[in-house]
Amino acid sequence: MPLKETMALKPKKTNRWLVACVVIIAVLLAAMATLSVYTVLTLSEQQRTLDSQHQQLLAMESAMSDAASKAESDLAEKQQQIDGQQSQLAEKNKAISDLEDTVSSLKTQISLKHEATRTPQQAEQNLPTRDYGDFSEKKIVALTFDDGPGPYTARLLDELKKRSVRATFFVLGTRVDSYPELIKRMEKEGHVVGNHSNGHKNLSKLTPAGIKTEMELCAKKIEKLLGHKPEVMRCPGGNYNTAVLNYAKEAGIPVIQWGVDTRDWESRNVNAILNKCFAKNGIKDGSIVLMHDIYSTTVDATVQMVDRLIAEGYTFVTVPELIHDREGKIEAGKMYR
């Protein structure tokens, strides 16, 4: 082949390649452009979706905030209602407390009225009716003897009888069992038999039921012998409390303490007993004197004391007579000394 022909063929071949390249590049460019457009479109779509989700979130947030603020205001309203109810409750409580005061005051009035009509109750208790006598112009003293009767009580009764002296004996139920005849003699000779409990227990350490049992045991023994219950009581050791006073009120009798304590059980000595009786703070008009007829020395001292008091112009009375003379009445459940 001639060179000229070869030279003319060569560019023709090159052009074809060029065109092919251009076409390929153009196709590639078109593809890229399409991809770009597609990508942009997709991104924009995603953006729109995100925007819409963001809007939804914002809406939800706002709805929640609204709900929270509504709940808060509801809570405040309920708190206000509770406060209101609480103040109503406080008012009602006060009304109840006022009512309780009224009831308590009415109860007191009823109990006072009850007290005023005690006499039939006293009869119901089988207590003796007594003419208390008039000692208003006299110097009086009430001798009391506790814890008996005992082996020396008969001698004491003899000595008192010789001098026409009357006294009060606070006896123990356990001793009443041993000396029933002396209990009868005491009453026959004008003395008063009082209740000093059955077994000399400390009443202030017992339950109300225990106090009643202790006192009623002795009261029933006395009642069996005398036909009536004792009209006065003295607590063992002088130990009493509200429950004891309540028992006494229920039994219709007073609780008797003392003004002069001879301490005869402690000294068991005639002169020591007399010294207590005639000391500056000893026996005076209206005194209640505490002694125990279970000691021989007490009987001896009583004889000397009584003779001296008679010489001084004293009249010997029983405890009910002394209280009646002093107060004009005797109140059940009251303590006298």
Interaction site with Ni ion (CB under 5 A): 146-147, 236
Tokens 């006395």 found at: 222
- To the query of whether residue 74 is one of the catalytic residues in this protein, the response is no
Looking at the chain, the number of H-run helices and the number of E-run strands are: 11, 8
Sign of CA dihedral 195, 318, 157, 187: negative
Q: Which is the catalytic residue, given 196, 292, 324, 325?
A: 292
Q: Backbone phi, then psi, for 288, in 5-degree steps?
A: -110, 120
CA angle 69, 73, 79 (to 5 degrees): 140
Rounded to whole angstroms, the Cα distance separating 267 from 255 reads 26
Helix axis angle for 180-188 and 208-226, nearest 10°, is 70
Catalytic annotation on 191?
A: no
The answer to whether 307 touches 125, Cβ cutoff 8 Å, is no
Min dist. Cβ of residue 169 to Ni ion (A) = 11
The smaller minimum CB distance to Ni ion, of residues 147 and 216, is found at 147
Nearer to Ni ion, 146 or 264 (CB): 146
187 Cβ contact list (under 8 Å, min separation 6) = 193, 226
Query: Shortest Cβ contact with Ni ion: which residue?
Result: 146
DSSP assignment of 243-261 equals HHHHHHHHHT--EE--SEE
**Min. distance of Cβ 146 from Ni ion in angstroms?**
4
Q: How far is the CB of 255 from Ni ion (least distance, A)?
A: 13
Question: Quick one: 235 or 251, whose CB is closer to Ni ion?
Answer: 235
CB 290, min distance to Ni ion, A: 9
Q: Which is nearer to Ni ion, 145 or 314 (CB)?
A: 145
C-alpha angle 126-127-130 in degrees, rounded to nearest 5: 140
Shortest distance, position 206 Cβ to Ni ion, whole Å: 15
Minimum CB–partner distance for residue 151 and Ni ion (Å): 17
Q: Which is nearer to Ni ion, 157 or 290 (CB)?
A: 290
319 three-class SS: helix
Catalytic residue among 146, 147, 293, 325: 146
- Ramachandran angles phi, psi of 156, nearest 5°: -60, -45
Nearer to Ni ion, 290 or 323 (CB): 290
149 cis-preceded (ω within 30 degrees of 0)? yes
List the catalytic residues. Answer: 146, 292
